[in-house]
Chain A
Amino acid sequence: MPRRTHEPRRHFLKTAGALALAGMAPAVVRGQGAPLQLGVLTPLTGAGGFDGPRMAKAMQAVIDEVNAAGGLLGRKVVLVVEDDQTNPEAAVRAARKLIDVTKVPAIMGTWASAVTSAVAPVCWESKTFLTTVSGADSITKLPHQGYLIRTQPNNHLQAGKHAEFIASLGVKRCFMMSIQAPFAQPTQERATEVLKQKGSQMVGTLIYDKDKTTYRSEVDQALKTNPDLIYLNGYAPDVTILLRDLYRAGYPGMRFAQSYAVTTKVLESLPHEVTEGVITVQPSADVASPAYELARKRLGIAEPDSYETQATDWASLVSLAIAKAKIATGTGIHDNVRKISQGSGTKVYSAVEGLKLLAQGTEINYEGASGPCDFTEIGDIVDCKFRYNKVAGGKFVLLKVA
């Protein structure tokens, strides 16, 4: 009797095993209609816990549209979402699961640079395509063999753009004070180079120690060079002290800083006269782009931010690259992502629009909500927009997005 009762279970196990083996076989062997799974690895918890869920949502919105328009390669697309916990170790485990068990051709969404640095080797070794927002210059310099793109501007691009903007303000003499950090010197060098090209001049730079309670002597050093503008390239705690010390010293010129160093909270913590006129900069979505307008409607948000628009673009780029490759593999995406994102093809602003044209055999050039999505050989974006704000009466006022 007991043997009999076990028979159906054994039969079931055999069938399930066979099915699992079939799942490991190449996609072409599987029946049409089996869903096409794409990996999402965003921080749902930890330091990135604010951005991760919103990025996952933005990707899902694009995939919903793609599915409504008939899916990819005749298959329904399913996003398999894992939490990287903003933690490299947890992220690698989750990436392994996506690659080894779910067998996704692409993983989209790593946020922290430390996480991306840990996940990237796992991806390129298994020929899985990775898209990220991490900003550290080192990431695209990894030997990723083209299996990685990032839509976030790196330090080099940022420093160049900032310098162009500073020169456009008519600044003739710029001084740069940077916190001791890996980005300090490369940023200073790039800004110096671009300022010179634009007919302006970097009259001096210094790198200061973090965790000091006063920077009076550093401010004195800067003021001696008589600058029109001082670029404060640090974090909130030290930039706050610098702004105070510059005010006390009676510095009348312009001050420029990253938006993460002069936040709304910083404005609340300082007297208005100290922050008046400070200009801040941050990478921005391409708010004038039709793709941005489409993202707004798709997400039902008045102003999708840089992260939501970058996530929108990954889901679109990966979908289009798969359609172009006619095969859902990491190598297929790797070989085709630049064919659909740049070049002389017809400009398209959404995945669905691009899929239609690709089906007709037309070449396309996807223009994203976060920017033009044109990539260099090592996977960095060539261009993107920046948002410039100016502080007036303790509040941010938009200067321009350019």
Chain B
Amino acid sequence: MPTLTDVGQLVVNGIMAGTILAVPAIGLTAIYAVLRFPNFALASHATIGAFAGYVANTAFGLPLLLSVIIAFVVAGAVGVATDEAVLKRFRPAGYITTAIASIALTIALENIVRFAFGNELRGYDLPIQRDWRLGAIRVGPQQVQNLVIAAIAMAALFGFLAFTRTGKAMRAVADNPMLASIKGINADMIGRLVNFVGMGLAGLGGMLIGLDTTIDPLTGFRSILSVFAAAVVGGLGSIPGAVVGALTVGIGEELCLLFLSPDYRSAVGFVAIVLVLTLRPRGILGQRAW
């Protein structure tokens, strides 16, 4: 019989996992909101961010925070470049074609990373700390730190969308591209911007995952299904929805351990997708970007 402590510990673990999942999920959903296709190339951009942060941290000896920023910027820049060079050309052919092209793109990018860095596992040059014990609950300092970084990134994004002119323009394009263009908003520019921010968040998420584990060319690919599940559960296209979805998937995956063997953990995300799409096809928070 599980005790209250067991449940508490699982919820804490779920929040930690969910928060990290939320960062790339926001990226996926933001790109979907503006450009209207699920960009699976997010996986390789998460990997690229993780490797950019790795190079900054181990080769240049930069501290954690600076490395995280570099992960964001490099992944964002690659995101803009690949969109301009590849995906943009596919968009007139429809969202399914573009989504398939993004899968091809992610495989190509992943292999470029493999070509440059090889297949082996790599770890960041950061000390590892033992967990804190708060009563019977175990909390990892590193995970709290990741949670804080993820929270800051999300808060910054929300601030940007709510209070800046460009952020408002972005939301306008997401809500009604036609009306936005009549108002004189440059949709191309907004597209580039959302790619930069979305893929930057993917890169940041990739690095956060890497901080907790190790990185290799498959880092992003391994988590893309959970990220996708989080975005769909929350409502694809809704940014707060991505956060809610990520926490739901994160906590759900942990709590299922109370009555399921751990090898079924991944199934939870997909059961959640099926339930949400059956009972509430628009996702928990609907599909409005804001």
Contacts and interface: CB of A to CB of B under 8 A. Distances in A.
Interface string B184-228: 000000000000000000000000010011101010001100000
A338 interface: no
Given A207-B262, A211-B223, A240 B121 contact: yes
Given A206-B261, A248-B131, 7 more contacts: A209-B263, A214-B16, A217-B262, A220-B9, A240-B123, A266-B214, A270-B123
Interface string A243-260: 010011110000000000
B261 A269 contact: no
A204 to B, nearest CB: 12
B109 interface: no
23 contacts: A180-B263, A208-B265, A211-B222, A213-B20, A213-B209, A213-B213, A215-B262, A216-B16, A217-B13, A220-B9, A221-B262, A236-B121, A237-B214, A237-B218, A240-B121, A240-B214, A241-B214, A244-B212, A247-B128, A248-B128, A269-B121, A271-B127, A273-B128
Given A241-B213, A248-B131, A273-B128, A212 B261 contact: no
Interface residue range, chain B: 35 or more
Across the A-B interface, give the 8 residue pairs with the lowest CB-CB distance, nearest first.
A269-B123, A265-B120, A211-B222, A207-B263, A180-B263, A209-B265, A208-B262, A269-B121
A249 B131 contact: yes
Interface string B97-129: 000000000000000000000001111000111
Interface of B: 9-10, 13, 16-17, 20, 120-123, 127-131, 138, 140, 142-143, 209, 212-214, 216, 218, 222-223, 254, 257, 261-266
Nearest to A250: B130
Nearest to B129: A248
A239 B175 CA distance: 45
A218 interface: yes
Interface of A: 180, 206-209, 211-218, 220-221, 236-237, 240-241, 244, 247-250, 265-266, 268-271, 273-274
A4 B133 CA distance: 99
Contacts of B223: 211, 213
Given A236-B121, A244-B213, A265-B121, A217 B9 contact: yes
Contacts of A273: 128
Contacts of B16: 214, 216
A217 B256 CA distance: 11
B2 to A, nearest CB: 11
A252 to B, nearest CB: 11
Question: Which of A208, A236, A265 gathers most chain B CB within 10 Å?
Answer: A265
Contacts of B266: 209, 211-212
A237 B218 CA distance: 10
A287 B90 CA distance: 60
Contacts of A269: 120-123, 214
Given A247-B130, A249-B138, A270-B123, A214 B213 contact: yes
A214 B120 contact: no
Contacts of B129: 248
B262 A237 contact: no
Contacts of B123: 240, 268-271
A262 to B, nearest CB: 11
Contacts of A207: 261-263
A250 B128 CA distance: 12
Contacts of A268: 123
Q: Which of A217, A240, A265 has the largest number of chain B CB atoms within 10 A? A: A217
Nearest to A220: B9
A206 B128 contact: no
Nearest to B122: A269
Contacts of B142: 248
Contacts of B138: 216, 220, 249
A247 B130 CA distance: 7
A161 B153 CA distance: 50
Nearest to A184: B263
B262 A214 contact: no
Contact of A214 (B212, B218, B261, B264): B212
A214 B13 contact: yes
A371 to B, nearest CB: 30
Nearest to B12: A216
B50 to A, nearest CB: 11
A214 B265 contact: no
Nearest to A244: B128
B216 A237 contact: yes
Contacts of B261: 206-207
A214 B17 contact: yes
Contact of B10 (A208, A217, A248): A217
A185 B10 CA distance: 26
Nearest to B138: A249
A268 to B, nearest CB: 8
A208 B17 contact: no
B265 A213 contact: no
Contacts of A248: 128-131, 140, 142
A274 B128 contact: yes
A110 B11 CA distance: 49
Contacts of A217: 9-10, 13, 254, 257, 262
A104 to B, nearest CB: 35
A215 B265 CA distance: 11
A189 to B, nearest CB: 15
B262 A206 contact: yes
Contacts of B20: 213
B262 A209 contact: yes
A216 to B, nearest CB: 5
B253 to A, nearest CB: 8
Q: Which of B122, B140, B262, B266 has the most CB of A within 10 A?
A: B262
A221 B257 contact: yes
